[in-house]
Amino acid sequence: MSKDSTLGLNPESLARLLGIALYSDSGEGKDDSAHTTAQLLKARLAGTLPLDTTVVEELPAILGQLRKNLMPLGGRTLGEVLTDPKSDLGAIKKIRRYAKKMASRKRTEADRAVAVAIYYAAIASALVFHDMKITTHSYESLEASFAKLINKPWMSAELNSLFVRALRLCRKKGHKSKS
Amino acid sequence: MGGTKSRFQTTHWSEIRNAGTHDEARRRIIINGLIKKYWKPIYCYLRRKGYGNEPAKDLTQGFFHEIVLGKDIVQQADEAKGRFRTFLLTALNHYITSVHRANVAGKRHPKDSIVSLEEFDEESMSFAAKDMQPEDVFTYVWASVLMDDVLAEVKKCCFRDGKKVYWGVFRARVLDPIVTGVEPITVADLCKRFGIKNKVKVSNMIVTVKRRFQAAMSSRVRQHVDSDEEVKQEIQDLMKILSKNCAI
């Protein structure tokens, strides 16, 4: 691209520039780590790249594979797949698997936090929309994990409400299994 | 900078309907504005369709001369709704078909050029859009022209309002990393570079410029869609089209 034009910029970067117009600035005034995590989570949920590259370097490797698997399902974003009651359970399981791999890689704290959030979001989605527990974690353990994730300063509203619903469900099912 | 809620927002639809006016001077201004915004996407679309440099230039000139400067597009716009870029692409495809049908491609272009295609940096376009479908190339170039306009406007406003540092901070933290791939500068380093005393102020500066960016983008995208509600959707759709073409 020339100095004064974005023409020639790769489409991915142009998409990210457009993204600046979409996302709220809730994290910007907060500390760097919360902001970074919030941006990364939003970007991953949108299926496009973040507003700035504080967090972008590793995305093609991780998100790329994920998108290859998910986009044929209708071109929906990761966020849409996770929060749509009609999403295929197989797709949800794939997301969980990839997120687990993402979390196990030694990267930044923000990367790990986002991977863990997506991992638990997939589990929550399967629980809430398919009544399926796609993990060996107990309901008690899941309840504790969802509770930790809810209201994180960087959490997106869509995942937050998913975790709230999943937590209630776990509490109910956990009590049932005890009685 | 306008927002998205302007009740009397001028859209390309209203502009083009106004282009049907008998006031020739006003009509010319409106049409010139449209040409300025759209000649690059149209030319690139035609190149991607397989037309050589000269035929693509001829068709671009011909389209603007016969369809846009002529009143065909005004009549078509009267009946159309939806996104302006889709409408324009449809009108262009109809034009190409009519040219082929008449089998006079290369002979219909006007003697007087309406737009200058000489300065176009074809190399950079072909590099960025080498694997795209023609329709996506049109969208890519259109989005690029839009982005250039928005960035120029935001920069100009920052400078005008004495917020040159704000622009510098936004550029270093948000723009440059995306555009050039450089490591994003930390907030602490931004403070040092620009002589700002605390980190919160830096964050607030970024938020301020982002809001200006958002307002400028919304205002411009609003010109291409039917309602305020469609602005966000249009930006999301653009991102999806562009993301689809990411090299992974």
User: Mean pLDDT, to the nearest integer, of A161-168?
Assistant: 94
CB atoms within 10 A of CB B44: 27
- Does residue A54 register a pLDDT over 70? no
Residue tagged 């974005």 (tokens): A6
Where are the alpha helices (H) located in B134-246, listed in sequence order?
134-160, 164-170, 176-180, 187-194, 199-222, 230-244
Answer with the residue of higher pLDDT: B159 or B40. B159
Domain range list for chain A: 11-178
CA distance B153 to B168: 15
Is there a contact between A11 and B210 if contact means CB atoms under 8 Å apart?
no
Residues in B 153-212 with any Cβ partner in A closer than 8 A: 173-175, 177-179, 181-184, 186-187, 199-200, 203-204, 206-207, 210-211
pLDDT for position A61? 46
Nearest CA in chain B to A59: B248
Residue A166: pLDDT band by 50, 70, 90 thresholds?
Answer: very high
CA distance A18 to A41: 17
Q: Whole-number mean pLDDT of chain A?
A: 75
- Does residue A8 register a pLDDT over 60? yes
pTM of the model: 0.61
Residue B8: pLDDT band by 50, 70, 90 thresholds?
Answer: very low
Contacts of B45 in chain A (CB under 8 A): none
Identify the CA nearest to B138 among candidates B17, B42, B236.
B42
pLDDT digits (tens, 9 = 90+) for A20-34: 887 655 444 445 556
Contacts of A17 in chain B (CB under 8 A): 147, 175, 178-179
Distance from CA of B2 to the nearest CA of A (A): 14
pLDDT digits (tens, 9 = 90+) for B101-145: 765 545 555 555 555 555 565 665 655 666 788 888 888 888 998
Contacts of A1 in chain B (CB under 8 A): 124, 128, 179
pLDDT for position B154? 96
Residue tagged 């693509």 (tokens): B56
Instruction: Identify the three-state secondary structure at position B49.
Output: coil
Is there a contact between B206 and A7 if contact means CB atoms under 8 Å apart?
no
- Spatial neighbors of B87 by CB under 8 A, at least 6 apart, are B76, B77, B80
